[in-house]
Structure 1
Amino acid sequence: MSVEPLVLVGMSGVGKSFWARRLAEQRGYVRHDCDGEIGARLSSIVTPSPGEEPVHALGRWMGMPWSEGYAAREARYLALEETVTREALDACRDGRRHVIDTTGSVIYLPDALLDRLRSVGRVVYLRTPEARREAMLRRYLEEPKPVVWGDAFACATGEAPREALPRCYASLLAWRERRYAALAHVVIDGAELEANDPGVDGFLARISA
C-alpha cells in the first residue's frame, strides 16, 4: 500500500522547498521539485546568466504580464506544470514516502488534477502573512520568478502597466490565498515556522494533527 504523500502548496518564498529538502535529507522522503523539473525541461530555451538561479532565468523568460508573447509562454509553462505534477503523483505509488514541492501556480491546474492531489496526498498550505506582501512585490520586481497571472492583470483607464502592477499583484495574492486554503487539509503559518523552527519532527507533528 502506498504511503500518503505530502503536497506542499503556497506562494513563492514561503518555505516549501526548504521543508521539502529537509524531509528528503533528514527523513528519506523522495522530493519532487516541480519548479526545478519545469526549468530543466525548458533548459533548451532558457539559459541562466552567470550566477543566476534557474528559477530567476525562468522568470526572465516568462516576462511581465504585459510583455509581448506572455500569454503563450504562460500557457506553455502551465502545460509543463500539469505534466510534471501528474508524473510526481504517479511516482508516489511505489510505497515510499514522497513530498511534492509544488509551484505557486499549482492552483491553476485542472480541477480533476487538483482533486487527485487532494485525494491521494495530504495538502499542506504554508500561508504567507499579509504583512509580507509588499516585500514579495519588491522581490518580484527585483528578481522576477515565473508568475502565472491568469485574468488577474488588467490596467484601469489611463493606467500604465507598471502603475497597475502593485494593485493587481495584491489582488492576485488574495485570490491565491483563498484557493490554497480551499485545497489544503492543513494550514500552517509560514512566518511562524520560520521564527520558531520546530525541526522536522515538529513539522510532521503539526501537519498530522
Structure 2
Amino acid sequence: MKLSRAEFNRRYAAGTLRLALIGMSNIGKSYSGMRLATDYDFTLIEVDRLIWDALGETDMTAFAAWQGQPYSDGYAERERQSIALETDATRQSLTMQARNPLLDTTGSVIYTDKDVLRSLKDDWYVVYIEAAPQHLERLKTQYFAHPKPLAWNGHFALQDGLSANESLMACYPELLSSRADAYAALADRIIGSDAILTTDSSALFDLIKPVAE
C-alpha cells in the first residue's frame, strides 16, 4: 500500500496504520518490531507465536525441530504443512482488530497463498529489511546456532563431496537471492539490516516512513 509520509503520519496518529515487516529469519524483524511497539503506539502481532499455538509448541526451537532440515525424511510434507500453517496464521493476523497493528511476519510469508499476499500488498504498508552484504555470513551462522524453521522451496540439493550441513551452507546464498526479489516486489519501503542495527528507536521509526512527502 503506497503511502505518502503525510498519510503515514495521519494514519499513525489516528491508530489506523497497518505496518508489516518482511525479510529473512534472523534479519531483525522481531527486534525492530519489539522496539517500535515498546516506544511507539503500535500493537505487535507475532505470526510465529500463532503457528506455535496451532502446533501445540511453545517456542521457535520446538517448531524448527518439528519441521527439520530439507535432507530429513518427510521434510517435503512438513514444509507443505508449515507453509499452510503460516498462511492460516498470517490470514488470521491480517484481520485482527488493534491500534496500529504491526505485523512481524515469517520469513516464508512470500510462499503463502495469493489472497494473503494480495491483502498485504493492497492493505498494509510493507517494510522489507534487506540483508546487508556484511550480514550474510551472520545469517548463515545464526541459522545453525539458533535454528528456525526454514522453507527452502526447492533451493536445496546435496552437493558432491559435501556433507548435508555443508550442502545447506552452500545452497543458502541461492535461497537468499531468490527470496530477495520476492520480498522487494512485495515491499513499499526497503531498508538495510545494517541501518536497523545501528539506529535508536526514534531513528528507526523515521527510517521506516515513506520517503515521499
The superposition leaves residues 145-204 of structure 1 with CA deviations (integer Å, 9 ceiling, x where unpaired) of: 10001111122456543332122111001111111111100001122221233x23x323
- 1:112-131 alignment to 2 at 5 Å? 112-131=115-134
Does residue 182 in structure 1 map to residue 185 in structure 2?
yes
- 1:147-186 alignment to 2 at 5 Å? 147-156=150-159, 160-186=163-189
Does residue 204 in structure 1 map to residue 205 in structure 2?
yes
Q: Which runs of 5+ in 1 are unaligned?
A: 48-53
Q: Which runs of 5+ in 2 are unaligned?
A: 1-13
The superposition leaves residues 85-124 of structure 1 with CA deviations (integer Å, 9 ceiling, x where unpaired) of: 11111115x6x21100001111111233212101100000
State the superposition RMSD in angstroms.
Answer: 2.0
Q: Determine what percentage of the aligned residue pairs are the same residue.
A: 35
Match of 2:84 in 1: 79
- TM-score, normalised with respect to structure 2: 0.84
How far does residue 84 in structure 1 lie from its aligned partner after superposition? Answer: 0.9
Q: How many angstroms apart in 2 are the aligned matches of 1:111 and 1:159?
A: 36
Q: Which residue identity does 2:17 align to in structure 1?
A: E
Q: How many angstroms apart in 2 are the aligned matches of 1:180 and 1:100?
A: 15
Q: How many angstroms apart in 2 are the aligned matches of 1:30 and 1:178?
A: 28
Alignment match of 2:66 (pick from 44, 61, 86): 61
1:124–1:185 Cα contact (<8 Å) kept: yes
Alignment match of 2:32 (pick from 2, 6, 19): 19
Q: Which residue identity does 1:78 align to in structure 2?
A: I
What is the DSSP-based 3-state SS (H/G/I as helix, E as strand, rest coil) of the residue aligned with 2:126? strand
The superposition leaves residues 10-51 of structure 1 with CA deviations (integer Å, 9 ceiling, x where unpaired) of: 1112221122122222223121101121112212xx46xxxx
2:36–2:205 Cα contact (<8 Å) kept: no
Alignment match of 2:93 (pick from 88, 97, 101): 88
Q: How many angstroms apart in 2 are the aligned matches of 1:90 and 1:59?
A: 26
Q: How many angstroms apart in 2 are the aligned matches of 1:3 and 1:107?
A: 24
Q: How many angstroms apart in 2 are the aligned matches of 1:111 and 1:191?
A: 31
Deviation larger for 33-42 or 20-29 = 20-29
